[in-house]
Amino acid sequence: MQYKYKAATENGQVVEGIHDANGEHEVLAMLKSNDYIPISIELNKDSSSSPSVLTPRVKKKDIAVFCRQFYTMLNAGVSIVKSLDILEKQTENKLLKKVSGIVYGDVQKGLTLSEAMKKHPNVFPSLLINMVEAGEVSGNLDTIMERMSNHYEKENKIENKIKVAMVYPIALGIASIAVVIFLLVAVMPTFVGMFESSGVELPGPTKLLLNVSDSLQNHWYIHLIVVLAMVFGLNYFRKMDSGRLFLDGLKLRIPIIKRANTMIITSRFTRTLSTLLSSGIPLLQAMEVVAKIVDNKLVGNRLEYSKEEVRKGIPLSRAIKDINIFPPMVDSMIKIGEESGSLDDILNKSADFYDEEVETSLQKMAAMMEPLLIVFMAVVVGFIVIAMALPMFDMVNTVQI
């Protein structure tokens, strides 16, 4: 759902915006993380509860290109205002183009780049906003933009690897469902008249198949309603805090997808924490940001717990080990980084390693899913064929007698 909010900054300036969230509590959390004082929060009645497929979205690839172009211009000596003006004119994504124009206007009015970007949390990720703010304080915004472009380029590569790995299993699953429906709706009815005129008592599997076939032909709308209800119900459950926590936990327990998900989360954790620390972000603040962007509520909650442990004085390596999420190598590498004083560099090398592990894990996951889907398809189609063949054997035996 989208919420309109109005809040005040520490300087007393009023900012307004729209934020995608599952409830007002998430909007309050976002405002608190940006050091805003909430004034009003209300449901955006001008938009539907879920975004339309026609609504332009800002993808990680768009953010990567935005940061890369921003870095190139800043490194060449172009001012922030002029860079924003150029970006607004050449950005292809319509939403990002529109927001870039708004940010350009706000910066002209005297806001810092991070303050202007904070008004649009549905476009600019919290990680990017925090990094830009750090770059403004340290005076190396061009370096920050280069790091963020590399970060989002790698994130985009991981997302593309996931999509590629899932293409064949999804296509095979759709083909299996299509074949079964075709057999039940188009093939099965041709045998009905023959079965009825034979006078032979139909076996249980055949009766079951005939009932399913009849239901699909004459009451197809009920099946459609049930499927849609399941889809919308699952989507609603996924948006609930308890639902998302359950589903995210399930991703880390199902054997086939467990390793791939763990590698993706580990890669994202190590790379993001490395980027934040190398840019001068304090460890506790970096942990808070990382907990929000790992894209797994269960892991995010445990990282929040580990942050509190670090606040109490416990080393990061031990706190990470205690949450029992990441591979053993992670806490070992973090310990080496803490002892050598090069934690950001160690994490960056670990991220490169786990990027490769992500691709390997995704390939193994797809390789395991393919035979399972083939076996499932063979069992279902085999059951249908046997159910249609059994009455024919009975008919042949009757004729011989």
Q: What is the pLDDT of residues 191-234, one digit of tens each?
A: 776 766 666 677 788 888 888 888 888 888 898 899 999 999 99
Same domain as 141, residue 174: no
23, 102: one domain: no
- Which position has the higher pLDDT, 24 or 156? 156
Q: Tell me, what's the pLDDT at 332?
A: 92
pLDDT digits (tens, 9 = 90+) for 365-377: 888 888 888 888 8
344 part of a folded domain: yes
Q: Given pLDDT bands bounded at 50, 70 and 90, which one contains residue 1?
A: low
Asked if residue 116 and residue 14 are part of one domain, the reply reads no
pLDDT band at residue 28 under the 50/70/90 scheme: confident
Of the pLDDT bands very low, low, confident and very high (cuts 50, 70, 90), residue 333 is very high
Residues in the chain: 401
Give 167's pLDDT tier (boundaries 50, 70, 90). Answer: confident
Give residue 56's pLDDT. 58
pLDDT at 148 exceeding the cut of 80: yes
Instruction: Give the model's confidence band at 316: pLDDT under 50 very low, under 70 low, under 90 confident, else very high.
Output: very high
Assigned domain for 275 exists: yes
Q: How many domains would you assign to the chain?
A: 3
Kindly list the strands in the beta sheet with 2-8, ordered across the sheet, starting from the edge strand earlier in the chain. 14-20, 2-8, 37-43
Which residue, among 268, 258, 306, 315, has the nearest Cα to 290 in the 3D structure? 268
**How does pLDDT run across 91-133, given as a tens digit for each residue?**
888 888 889 988 988 888 888 898 889 888 888 988 888 888 8
Question: What span, in angstroms and rounded, lies between the C-alpha atoms of 261 and 327?
Answer: 12
Say how many C-beta atoms besides its own lie within 10 A of residue 199's C-beta. Answer: 8
pLDDT for residue 51: 42
* pLDDT of 160: 87
**Single residue among 96, 123, 154 that ends a domain in this structure:** 154
Q: How far apart are CA 399 and CA 401, in angstroms?
A: 5
- Tokens (6 digits) for 100: 């870039």
Mean per-residue pLDDT of the chain: 83
Domain residues for 35?
2-47
Q: Compute CA distances 342 → 161, 175, 327, 333, 353, whole Å.
A: 30, 51, 20, 10, 17
Confidence of residue 47 (pLDDT cuts 50, 70, 90): very low
Does a structural domain hold residue 55?
no
> Residue 306: its pLDDT value, please?
92
Domain shared by 101 and 12, yes or no: no
| Mean pLDDT for the stretch of residues 381-393 | 80
**Based on the domain organization, do 268 and 119 belong to the same domain?**
no
Q: Is residue 54 a part of any domain in this protein?
A: no
* Residue 171 and residue 101 share a domain: no
353 vs 263: CA distance, rounded Å: 10
Helix (H, G, I), strand (E, B) or coil at 19: strand
Assess whether 179 and 41 both reside in one domain: no
Are residues 194 and 146 located together in one domain of the fold? no
Question: What is the pairing mode between strands 37-43 and 14-20?
Answer: unpaired
191 shares its domain with 273: yes
What DSSP line would sit under 77-108, residue for residue?
T--HHHHHHHHHHH--SHHHHHHHHHHHHHHH
Of the residues 154, 183, 212, which one is the last residue of a structural domain? 154
Is the residue at 160 inside a domain? no
Question: Which of 29-38, 79-88, 252-261 comes out lowest in average pLDDT?
Answer: 29-38
Q: Is residue 52 part of a domain?
A: no
Domain boundary among 94, 119, 154: 154
**Count of CB atoms situated within 10 Å of the CB of 81:** 13
39 and 74, same domain (yes or no): no
- Whether 103 is in a domain gets the answer yes
The owner of tokens 């300087």 is 11
Q: Give me the pLDDT at residue 175, please.
A: 86
Residue 330 in any domain: the answer is yes
